[in-house]
Structure 1
Amino acid sequence: MRRSEFLRAVDDEFGGRASALLNDLVLGAVGGRTSAQALADGVPPRDIWLALCAQTDVPDDRRHGVGRLEPRGR
C-alpha cells in the first residue's frame, strides 16, 4: 500500500472524520503514535491502515484492497 492509497482509503472509509482520526487517534499497534506520526516516522502505510481498522472496528471485508485506483483504459 502506498501513502496515497492509504490516505484515499482513510478518506473513503471515514469521510469527514478522516482528518481527526489521522491526527488525534493514538494507535497502540504502531507504537502509541497517531497515524500521522507513524507515517512521518516511516511506518509502512499498510501497517498503519490495519492498525487503524482494528482500532475502529472496520469489518475485514473493507480492509483489503482499498485505496487503489481503477486501472486506466488504453
Structure 2
Amino acid sequence: MPAILVIASLEGHPGITRADNDVRVGIQSVSSVLGAGLLRVHRSCTGLLDEIPSLSLLAQAQVNAVSTDTKVPILHPD
C-alpha cells in the first residue's frame, strides 16, 4: 500500500483507495455529456476546443470496439 494511503488511513480517512487512472471512461463520459448538450464549452477555451474532435474519435473507436450499436457523435466547435 502506498505511504500516502497509509497516512490518510491513520489520519481518519479509511475510505481512500488507489485511483483508476484509465482515461477511457472519462473520455467517454465527457463525450456523452457534450453530445447530449449537458455540458457546454466557452469559445475562449481554444485548447480544449481544438482537442475535442480527437477525443471524440478516440471515444468512438472505443465504443465501436465494444458495441457497433452505440454511436458517439464527433463534435465540432462553432
Instruction: Give the TM-score, by structure 1 length.
Output: 0.26
Q: Which one has more relative contact order, counting CA pairs under 8 Å at least 6 apart?
A: 1
TM-score by length of 2: 0.25
* Larger strand share, 1 or 2: 1
User: 1 or 2, which has the higher helix percentage?
Assistant: 1
Larger Rg: 2
